[in-house]
Amino acid sequence: MTKQSNRGKNRALAQWVAEAAQLTKPDRIVWCDGSEEEKRRLTQEAIASGVLIALNQAKRPGCYLHRSNPNDVARSEHLTFICTPDKDDAGPTNNWAPPEETYAKLRGWLAGAMRGRTMYVVPYVMGPLKSPFSKVGVELTDSLYVALNMRIMTRMGQAALDLLGDGGEFNRGLHSILDLDPERRLICHFPQDNAVWSVGSGYGGNALLSKKCFALRIASYLGRAEGWLAEHMLILGLESPQGETTYIAAAFPSACGKTNLAMLLPPPAFKGWKVHTVGDDIAWLRVGPDGRLWAVNPEYGFFGVAPGTSTRSNPNAMKTVEHDTIFTNVAVTAEGDVWWEGMGFDPPKGLIDWRGQLWDPNSGKPAAHPNSRFTAPMTNNPVLSPKAEDPQGVPISAIIFGGRRASTVPLVMEASDWSQGVFFGASMGSETTAAATGQVGVVRRDPMAMLPFCGYNMVKYFEHWHQIASRLRNPPRIFQVNWFRKDREGAFLWPGYSENMRVLKWIVDRVKGRVGAEQTPIGLVPRKEDINLDGLEISAEQLRQATSIDPDEWRAELDQIEEYFKKLGADRLSDFQVRIEKARTALAKSG
């Protein structure tokens, strides 16, 4: 049995667990303490029950595979709801449902749902222990996979109970996989109760309630009320050969390379430069007493996309997943090692696909699911920032908004002020990826990469971004990037991956006032001489195309942005009107 020194001490928690048990009727209740002994025991149970499959322990010590139900492989945005008393509080971008009816419906589904199962009580802290940023959550789940993943993704166990003490303020997450029937699957957020009820899915973003549900949707709502920001951003530190470190936060939609950028290994021409990872997915940002914006990564692990991860695209991620990692829906070799598309070498013979069947290379189907994932503790990352656990966080000098766009948006562009930067973020578009169910490859507007994750009215969210500026005496500069622009033949104009270091360096040099830029009608872009191209084979024409602003494309883009803002009701925000008019006038002048 686990040591449970103060599990019963918190009355609010004990009462809530009792209520949930009364409803769901689990056979057993296990309070997770986060100990090594508990990890061993739960892992053994997971193997015995087929939830995890042990991989080759000589090749990948401490690594396991989970195969999900094939109908449950990505976030289900159409089944994700914000439940506020007033529909307008959820706003134009969220699915909304009334709280009381939704609770009643889910109570119906959950009645007796954990019969014959164990309920795991998973207390966790988001953010470094003893940090003013940090918040406690407790997830009740009947999924052992979820309990084991939460152990990696958060500071889980006794430390959370200790921090909570006898306080009543914690996120209440109730999760049951039920029977994994998509007809009885819903992910419901109750911001006014600091609660999330998720039913019918075991997939990461639907089921690890600490992540998108609490650290983004609920936290963004809390952030507005409390004057801070919860953002879908990686955080990295860029250290120069002289030892000067600059911190950057960057928002990209899911599966656009956030993890790769956060762990970037600079190319040989950048000798002495180092990237340190603070976080790869979520940032909590506060205005510090010095008027700067400070950030922490609330998470403790990485839930990264496996396909496309290789020693070329992300050598540090490859090292991160060498041990103590849970893989989900990847392929397995005959030797019991993992494989996925884009891993950098051909599939070995005898590969077992993500569904557990012998893979036929001629089937035309991928061996690993396109949204297959790895869950690894951040301490596995060889380039983890020494500041990753700093309770104060790190001061942010630049914010990047990025999307996946085949045309129009230049490689990099700087906003002349905060307000233009907010416009960059709010008008972001990206082609969709496999991280969410639905069609892949169509452009959708994704403001600040928060479209699926903003827990309240998007227009109020834009206002909150504008308002925060008044407290920032020393605001970060804001940039927009696009690694994915293509030429007329459909070839990528920019090599991407580690070469993105060149763009990061321009950004740092801009922040420090050390390098030039060219003013265009849309924003500031680097001239050829502003970007370090040593050791890179790229023609002047290619770089010109990658950084160019095409007036016709931008006239159309501005029309689309305006239309999108109208649809949201964001056209009434005068900041945005001014931006669009300024850009149109400048485009007209430029001919």
Q: What residues are labeled active site?
A: 256
> Minimum Å distance from CB 435 to Mn ion?
7
Segment interacting with ligand SAT (CB under 6 A) among 1-9, 194-202, 203-211, 376-384: 203-211
Select 250 or 367, whichever has its Cβ closest to Mn ion: 250
The answer to whether 355 and 94 are in contact (CB under 8 A) is no
Segment interacting with ligand SAT (CB under 6 A) among 205-213, 313-321, 333-341, 441-449: 205-213
| Beta strand 80-82 pairing with 95-96 | parallel
- For 416-455, the DSSP string reads SSHHHHHHHHHT-EEE--TTBSS-SS-EEE-GGG-TTT--
> Minimum Å distance from CB 69 to ligand SAT?
15
The answer to whether 331 and 353 are in contact (CB under 8 A) is yes
> Minimum Å distance from CB 34 to ligand SAT?
21
CA distances from 47 to 40, 51, 67, 332 (A): 11, 6, 12, 16
The answer to whether 368 and 66 are in contact (CB under 8 A) is no
Q: How far, rounded to the nearest angstrom, does the alpha carbon of residue 589 sit from its chain's CA centroid?
A: 40
| Residue of 303, 327, 340, 479 interacting with ligand SAT (CB under 6 A) | 303
| Residue of 204, 266, 315, 475 interacting with ligand SAT (CB under 6 A) | 204
The answer to whether 386 and 397 are in contact (CB under 8 A) is no
| Residue of 281, 324, 414, 562 interacting with Mn ion (CB under 5 A) | 281
Cα–Cα distance, 391 to 388 (Å, whole number)? 9
x-marked contacts with ligand SAT along 251-290 as a string, rule CB under 6 A: ---x------------------------------------
Residue nearest to ligand SAT (CB): 205
| Residue of 155, 175, 211, 464 interacting with ligand SAT (CB under 6 A) | 211
Select 451 or 517, whichever has its Cβ closest to ligand SAT: 451
Q: In the window 230-249, what residues touch ligand SAT (CB under 6 A)? A: none
Segment interacting with ligand SAT (CB under 6 A) among 14-22, 204-212, 267-275, 510-518: 204-212
Residue found by looking up tokens 């969220």 in the block: 94
Q: Side chain identity at 156, as an amino acid letter?
A: M
Select 116 or 182, whichever has its Cβ closest to ligand SAT: 182
Phi, psi dihedrals of residue 319, rounded to the nearest 5°: -70, -40
Q: How far, rounded to the nearest angstrom, does the alpha carbon of residue 40 sit from its chain's CA centroid?
A: 28
The answer to whether 212 and 450 are in contact (CB under 8 A) is no
Select 61 or 441, whichever has its Cβ closest to ligand SAT: 441
> Minimum Å distance from CB 500 to ligand SAT?
19
SS3 (DSSP) at 219: helix
Select 176 or 433, whichever has its Cβ closest to Mn ion: 433
Q: Which does 205 bind (CB under 5 to 8 A by kind): Mn ion, ligand SAT, none?
A: ligand SAT
Q: In the window 147-206, what residues touch Mn ion (CB under 5 A)? A: none
Select 148 or 412, whichever has its Cβ closest to ligand SAT: 148
Q: Which does 211 bind (CB under 5 to 8 A by kind): ligand SAT, Mn ion, none?
A: ligand SAT
Select 247 or 374, whichever has its Cβ closest to ligand SAT: 374
> Minimum Å distance from CB 253 to ligand SAT?
8
SS3 (DSSP) at 355: coil
SS3 (DSSP) at 183: helix
- Should residue 212 be labelled a site residue for ligand SAT when binding is judged by CB under 6 A? yes
Select 306 or 531, whichever has its Cβ closest to ligand SAT: 306
Least Cα distance to 196 among 211, 183, 181 occurs for 211
- Should residue 66 be labelled a site residue for ligand SAT when binding is judged by CB under 6 A? no
x-marked contacts with ligand SAT along 419-448 as a string, rule CB under 6 A: ----------------x-------------
> Minimum Å distance from CB 34 to Mn ion?
24
SS3 (DSSP) at 145: helix
Segment interacting with Mn ion (CB under 5 A) among 66-74, 247-255, 294-302, 401-409: 247-255
The answer to whether 464 and 448 are in contact (CB under 8 A) is no
- Should residue 254 be labelled a site residue for Mn ion when binding is judged by CB under 5 A? yes
Q: Side chain identity at 329, as an amino acid letter?
A: N
Select 33 or 281, whichever has its Cβ closest to Mn ion: 281
Least Cα distance to 119 among 110, 109, 128, 129 occurs for 110
Q: Which does 446 bind (CB under 5 to 8 A by kind): ligand SAT, Mn ion, none?
A: none
Q: Which does 405 bind (CB under 5 to 8 A by kind): ligand SAT, Mn ion, none?
A: none
x-marked contacts with ligand SAT along 341-380 as a string, rule CB under 6 A: ----------------------------------------
> Minimum Å distance from CB 70 to Mn ion?
22
- For 250-279, the DSSP string reads EE--TTSSHHHHHT----GGGTT-EEEEEE
Q: Which does 204 bind (CB under 5 to 8 A by kind): ligand SAT, Mn ion, none?
A: ligand SAT
Number of H helices, E strands in the chain: 16, 29
Angle at 225 between CA 220 and CA 231, to 5 degrees: 20
Angle at 401 between CA 396 and CA 406, to 5 degrees: 155
Size of the site for Mn ion (CB under 5 A): 2
Least Cα distance to 265 among 252, 248, 253, 277 occurs for 277
- Should residue 433 be labelled a site residue for Mn ion when binding is judged by CB under 5 A? no
- Should residue 75 be labelled a site residue for ligand SAT when binding is judged by CB under 6 A? yes
- Should residue 482 be labelled a site residue for ligand SAT when binding is judged by CB under 6 A? no
Size of the site for ligand SAT (CB under 6 A): 8
> Minimum Å distance from CB 576 to ligand SAT?
27
Radius of gyration of the chain from its Cα atoms, rounded to whole angstroms:
24
Select 75 or 477, whichever has its Cβ closest to ligand SAT: 75
Enumerate residues 6+ apart whose C-beta is below 8 A from 415.
421, 423, 424, 477, 478, 479, 480, 523, 524
Cα–Cα distance, 423 to 576 (Å, whole number)? 6
Select 7 or 211, whichever has its Cβ closest to ligand SAT: 211
The answer to whether 206 and 143 are in contact (CB under 8 A) is no
Which residues form the interface with ligand SAT (CB under 6 A)? 75, 204-205, 211-212, 254, 303, 435
Which residues form the interface with Mn ion (CB under 5 A)? 254, 281
